[in-house]
Structure 1
Amino acid sequence: MKLNEIRDNVGAKHNRKRVGRGIGSGKGKTAGRGVKGQKSRSGVAIKGFEGGQMPIYRRLPKRGFVNIFKKDYNIVSLGRLQAAVDAKKLDAKKTVDAAALLEAGVIRREKDGVRVLSDGELKAKLKLEVSGASKSAVEKIEKAGGSITVVGVEAEAAE
């Protein structure tokens, strides 16, 4: 195969539909829009309009609200931390914070902070610096000989 022999698959490329080019084209005169009325004109978009019937978004009741101040945390389990230490991705001697977890590939991106949950077992002695942790996670970390420091908004609220 040569560069000059490369072609699109058959049917992969469609020609643009040329409307309003005479009745012989099949899309002449009204260009497939029908006759008269608002929808035959250009610049019309009637989204959600149901022909005068009460639209579904107005028939259904409103529910709940969205809290714009909600914090979105990265959730990390103790088992996941132990797996990263075992795989030599996390250094147990250094402080483990969001940047270290990101570098180790434990989390994909830094959100509003990291929250540690107690799923799994922790054998490594880790010094954690996170936004929050469950009580059982704190107990397991301290039982393994590690320490945990809560930083950020939750630490201010706890004082």
Structure 2
Amino acid sequence: MRKLRKETFIGTNGNETFRGDAQNEVIRGNGGNDSLNGAGGNDRLSGDDGDDVLRGGGGDDRILDGDGNDRVFGGAGDDYIFITAGEDFVDGGEGADIIRLDGDTTDWLFMQGGDDPGEIYVLQRGDQLVTIENIELAIFDDKSVSLEWHGPLISAFI
């Protein structure tokens, strides 16, 4: 991984691990199966290609998963998480977290899982499958949907 500036890191096509600090970092994994951890600060993480693990940590982070089957953990703070492709797991963590998904709401099948209503949601569009928890708002191309529901839902097109 080469260091461009004090707070900007860009990986290679190999499998890499990077952990930031309390500063506001920009961390891009590029290819490979990377593990990126922003730690403190308001970070920008991008996994790009590969099956990545992305952790925002403390602060209000912006996280882009990229291609591959990724695991995204927002951590504390109000995070904005972009999901683009693959079979992904997203845990927003503490704070008011937002997930951004491509396509209209009618493109996605929405299912609820877990023991408690509102605990875990699974969204599916074609081959893309996204399991989310601790996310308060989902933004699609056509509208936004609150995920703070208080009743049973088996599945629905939203």
What TM-score does the superposition give when structure 2 sets the normalisation length?
0.27
Higher strand share: 2
Please say which structure displays the higher CA radius of gyration: 1
Higher relative CO (Cα under 8 Å, sequence separation at least 6) belongs to 1
What TM-score does the superposition give when structure 1 sets the normalisation length?
0.27
Higher helix share: 1
